[in-house]
Chain A
């Protein structure tokens, strides 16, 4: 995971529903989506640190390799 922003990669159908909302409703929903993404990022980062710590030492490198990649 990196410090990417918390915007979500929405598909065109979902984006169309959001674009059809009045501006204040759209903004409120976008805030909720960003909060959800931020919350999930925090949960995953914490869980990853703790999970690696629970894995037996000989397996840690293999486990760390599982999580390589952008997010």
Chain B
């Protein structure tokens, strides 16, 4: 999966350091969490270094008329310093001052505000101004900045801002970068069925499945299952795009994890799609199971997959992924829940494929099932 979280942190760090993201590319191997530690520490240090000056500017609005404070903010401080000073101001003063500043200046300032530090201001900020600024930030493509504000927005502003964002792919991209997953749960609960379906459709049309699945894994189980159920109810084109994306970006660990929470629905539904017969797709499943040690999760789904599709998995494995069969055979025990499914799928294989699969096995129960199937059904269609 593309490491978008790391990229997002590099963008935020570059902004703090007043440099281009390209200057930080050498750090792109670091985990997002370490980059976040770096960003937060440098932010704090840049503030601490000049605390008396920042505090002085923050108190200025208590001494001089607001009209002059507003002129100083826009003409002298500019968005970078104004953003760093905002968090030090008394919330009521900051809100009064913001009323005298242009939407455009406030949108620029948002890029440099630490939303956590400015939380009391954001909590009391007028919703109509917040929406106007949301639209400006969206028009400027400031997805990462917007996601940082989602983390601290009060519920009424959060919902109004969500409603103001008309493009569902924007919602998806912002959601991916939000750190507080409880805020995402609230947004999903707020969305009606039409918008949820539009989000799933946007994931398919904009190829945002990696972002969607990464986000689904972070939110609460109730919201996750609601979105997953909705996704499985979509048309064949959408499910096909999910299967292709899973194969291309190795999304199977995420899908199998979600599938464990909704037995017999997710993998069963996906497996019934024509794309699931594609050898490249099946190879991606097999490779992911081996590479990510997903044996238990995969085997939980073999029954839901259906005999025909499971037979196709065995066939591809017999032709191109023999170590998969060896390991599956080694693991299969007499009382395992998927033994019958594997036995029945074995019976669907052609004699030649069965023989090849048998040759790849380790002499265990799968090998036995393949041999038994050969005796009772000398040749099958697959």
Residues of A whose CB lies within 8 Å of any CB of B are: 1, 8-11, 13-15, 17-18, 21, 25, 28-29, 32-33, 35-37, 39-41, 43-44, 47-48, 50-51, 54-56, 59, 62-63, 66-71
Cβ contact within 8 Å between B64 and A59: yes
Chain A residues with Cβ under 8 A from B48's Cβ? 9
Q: Shortest Cβ distance from A7 into chain B, in angstroms? A: 9
Does B18 contact A54, Cβ atoms closer than 8 Å? no
Residues in B lying within 8 Å of A, measured CB to CB: 16-19, 23-24, 26-27, 30, 34, 37-38, 40-42, 44-46, 48-57, 59-60, 63-64, 68, 71-72, 75-78, 80-81
B42:A33 contact, CB within 8 angstroms: yes
A40–B27 Cα gap in the complex (Å)? 23
Q: How many A-B residue pairs have CB under 8 A?
A: 119
Nearest-neighbour CB distance to chain B for A61, whole angstroms, equals 11
Do B27 and A8 have beta carbons less than 8 Å apart? no
Query: Max chain B CB contacts within 10 Å: which of A13, A44, A63, A68?
Result: A44
**Other-chain residue from A9, A44, A51 in contact with B72 (beta carbon distance below 8 A):** A51
Contact: A13 with B41, CB < 8 Å? Answer: yes
Asked, given contacts A1-B50, A35-B18, A37-B46, whether A13 binds B37 with beta carbons under 8 Å apart, the answer is yes
SS of A interface (majority): helix
> Which residues of A have CB within 8 Å of B51?
69, 71
From residue A16, how far is it (CB to closest CB) to chain B in Å? Answer: 8
- A9 contacts B56, CB within 8 Å? no
Beyond A9-B48, A37-B46, A39-B18, is A32–B53 a contact (Cβ under 8 Å)?
A: no
Please judge, given known A-B contacts A56-B68, A59-B64, A63-B64, whether A51 and B77 are in contact too, CB under 8 Å: yes
Task: Please give the distance in Å from B79's CB to the nearest CB on chain A.
Answer: 11
Q: Would B42 and A10 count as touching, CB distance under 8 A?
A: yes
B316 → chain A, closest Cβ, in Å? 43
Instruction: Determine if B81 and A44 form an interchain contact, defined as CB atoms under 8 angstroms apart.
Output: yes
Of A47, A50, A59, A69, the contact of B52 (CB 8 Å cutoff): A69
Contact A55 B64 (CB under 8 A): yes
Closest A-chain residue to B73, C-beta based?
A: A51
Beyond A17-B41, A44-B54, A54-B76, list 9 extra A-B contacts (CB 8 Å): A9-B49, A13-B41, A14-B38, A14-B42, A17-B30, A32-B24, A36-B46, A39-B18, A71-B51
Between-chain CB contacts (< 8 Å), 17 pairs:
A1-B50, A9-B48, A11-B44, A15-B41, A18-B38, A25-B27, A33-B17, A33-B42, A35-B17, A44-B53, A51-B76, A56-B64, A59-B63, A66-B55, A66-B57, A66-B59, A71-B49
With contact pairs A43-B80, A44-B50 given, residues A14 and B37 touching in the complex (Cβ less than 8 Å):
yes
User: B80 near A36 (CB under 8 angstroms)?
Assistant: no
For B71, list chain A residues within 8 Å (CB): 54
Instruction: Tell me whether B56 and A67 are in contact (CB under 8 A).
Output: yes
CB distance from B221 to the nearest CB of A (A): 32
Given A25-B26, A43-B81, A66-B60, CB of A10 within 8 Å of CB of B76: no
Complex alpha-carbon distance, A25 and B28, angstroms: 11
- Asked if A8 contacts B49 (CB within 8 A), the reply is yes
Distance between Cα atoms of A9 and B209 in the complex (Å) = 41
Chain A: CB-nearest residue to B30:
A17
Name the distance in Å between A12's Cβ and chain B's nearest Cβ: 9
Determine the distance from Cα of A51 to Cα of B70 in the docked complex, in whole angstroms: 11
A25 CA to B29 CA, complexed, in Å: 12
- Are A36 and B63 neighbours in the complex by a CB distance under 8 Å? no
Chain A residue with minimal CB distance to B58? Answer: A66
**Chain A residues, Cβ within 8 Å of B68:** 54-56
Contact assessment for B76 and A62 in the assembled complex, using a CB-CB cutoff below 8 Å: no
A14 and B76 form a contact (CB under 8 A) = no
Shortest Cβ distance from A21 into chain B, in angstroms? 8
B93 smallest CB distance to A (angstroms)? 14
Q: Chain B residues near A1: list those with CB within 8 A.
A: 50, 53
Q: How far is the CA of A18 from the CA of B16 in the complex (A)?
A: 16
Query: Are the C-beta atoms of B45 and A71 separated by less than 8 Å?
Result: no
